[in-house]
Amino acid sequence: MSPANALVVVGDSLLDRDLDGHVERLSPDAPVPVVEGLAQTTRPGGAALAAALAAADGWSVTLVSALAGDGSGRELAAAVAASGVHLIDIGLDGTTPEKVRVRAGGRTLLRLDRGGEPAGAGDPSGPWRARALDTARRAIGSAAGVLVSDYGRGVATEPGIREAVEAVARVVPLVWDPHPRGASPVRGATLVTPNRREAADAGVFGDVPQAASASALAHRWDARAVAVTLGADGALLAPAEGPGTRVHATPVTGGDPCGAGDRFASRTATLLAAGVPTFEAVSAAVTAASAFVEGGGAAGARVGAGGAQELAPRAVRAEGSDRAARPLPTSADAVVSRTRAHGGAVVATGGCFDLLHAGHVATLTAARALGDCLVVLVNSDASVRRLKGAERPVVPASDRAAVLEALAAVDATVVFEEDTPEAALERLCPDVWAKGGDYDVADLPEAHVMRRMGGRAVVLPFVDGCSTTRLIEEALVRGPA
């Protein structure tokens, strides 16, 4: 759970409407499908969706946006309130923008955009609006983190709002999610998150993703880093100084990409506000966006009162994974049960963890950011001896588990006797398996187990220069102090 009043989302909101029906024939007067049995659903869109998703992650969220006083605006305001987000409405002199999708069989057949005429904002001299702008500036100034979702409709460039965002960028994490019709990011942004097209429109990014081009964007925008989102190809993270890094996405089957950018931006913003390093935050956001797409995108996420997000049901786990036959330790079982009772995602990682070092801590922190609890599978002493030799482990399993459980990132541990954690995974049934290293996900034996159970595997990078074996060798060379 985040600290109170932690995240402020600034940007343009719209009302999303889905008209879902079924198609059984073509029209006799044109080669187009006839959609029947339409059922309508509405939800927050744009910056309002990003805010609702952050609230669904357990954060206290304030949304600074501009809504019109029409029926669609009132409907959008109600949807924002139902998501558990506090709205500061600075007023829109125009009509509320809507995005209407006509769908059948989970596929979009037609999209209609309406409203949002650029008639400008309300009377800047009006006392009501002046109070709203002052409230917005104070909220931005007291935020632990800020996300700007700029859809090019004027909220991010509103006089006073942009200055408040630029001032806070010097002291708290700021994520700027741009749009081709939007403004340039403020100077000093922690992370700017253009997609492939938006990066190309900036003039320095071609068809082939290049780390140097992403770094050039960071320089142009005077941002600390840029993460170019590449859809199914993950993201390209590049700081203004230093080499870029490719963050690979977990392959998904089917799904709906609508809202994936908002899922990526909101997860990145909350993690950065929580103090997670940029690479780990972007890695976790890529994973979250992939899961969001696979779960049906914005249409598969029903954001209700109190910010509780209900995603489409997870894949049914394989029959025959007999968890009851070999129960988990009570502490781990309680953590998993509690997490699932609240609709959260269970993450697992594993290893020997003999002489815990900074690389382990970085990997565990990144793994915890992938879900709502982290269970660490620890090789037993006998297992370590078979894998590492008769002189290992240096630290017995009970002590290794105790040290791990003392870390903020770790919720529980499970010591397993086998050489590999597949059997332990069968008992735990996590949603995500995170493995540190330079492996290809497809080569991990655990990945096959996770696919069979309906979960997914993720590879996290090691910290260069960190190795238990090297620490032991150096200690033997130096001898006792």
Domains 7-310 and 330-473 share a fold: no
pLDDT band at 309 (very low <50, low <70, confident <90, very high): very low
pLDDT (tens digit per residue) in 411-426 = 999 999 998 899 889 8
> What pLDDT, on a 0 to 100 scale, did the predictor assign at position 463?
52
Q: What are phi and psi of 412, to 5 degrees?
A: -165, 160
CA–CA dist 239, 278 (Å, integer): 10
Is residue 352 within 8 A of residue 472, CB to CB? The reply is: no
pTM over cut 0.85: no
Q: At 323, give phi and psi (nearest 5°).
A: -65, -35
Tell me which of 271 and 209 has the higher pLDDT: 271
Would you state the pLDDT for residue 129?
A: 79
249-266: pLDDT as tens digits: 777 777 788 889 999 999
Amino acid 310: pLDDT? 35
Q: Tell me, which fold does domain 330-473 have in CATH?
A: Rossmann fold (3.40.50)
CATH class of segment(s) 7-310: alpha beta
Handedness of CA 404, 406, 410, 414 (dihedral sign): positive
Query: What average pLDDT does this structure show over 276-288?
Result: 85
State the catalytic residue, choosing from 177, 262, 354, 372.
262
Closest CA to 366 of 430, 415, 436: 436
Task: Give the burial string for 186-210 (b: 16+ CB within 10 Å, else e).
Answer: bebbbbbbbbbebbbebeebeeebb
Residue 161, pLDDT above cutoff 90: yes
Band (pLDDT 50/70/90 cuts) for residue 462 is low
Distance CA 50, CA 292 (A): 12
Distance CA 295, CA 258 (A): 11
**262 is annotated as an active-site residue:** yes
Instruction: pLDDT band for 140, please (50, 70, 90 cuts).
Output: very high
* Amino acid residing at 29: D
Average pLDDT over residues 446-471: 70
- Whether 190 has a pLDDT exceeding 90, the answer reads yes
> Which residue has better confidence, 295 or 1?
295
List the domain boundaries for the chain. 7-310, 330-473
Q: Which of 440, 313, 284, 274 is nearest to 374 (CA)?
A: 284
| Whether pLDDT at 163 is above 90 | yes
Per-residue b/e over 64-96, b at no fewer than 16 CB within 10 Å? bbbbbeeebbebbbebbebbbbbbbbbbbebbb
Q: Is the confidence at residue 23, as pLDDT, over 50?
A: yes
Q: What is the mean pLDDT of residues 179-195?
A: 90
352-395 per-position pLDDT tens digit: 888 787 778 888 888 888 888 999 999 999 999 998 888 888 88
pLDDT by residue (tens digit) across 312-351?
333 323 333 333 334 455 568 778 877 877 778 899 999 9
pLDDT band at 122 (very low <50, low <70, confident <90, very high): very low
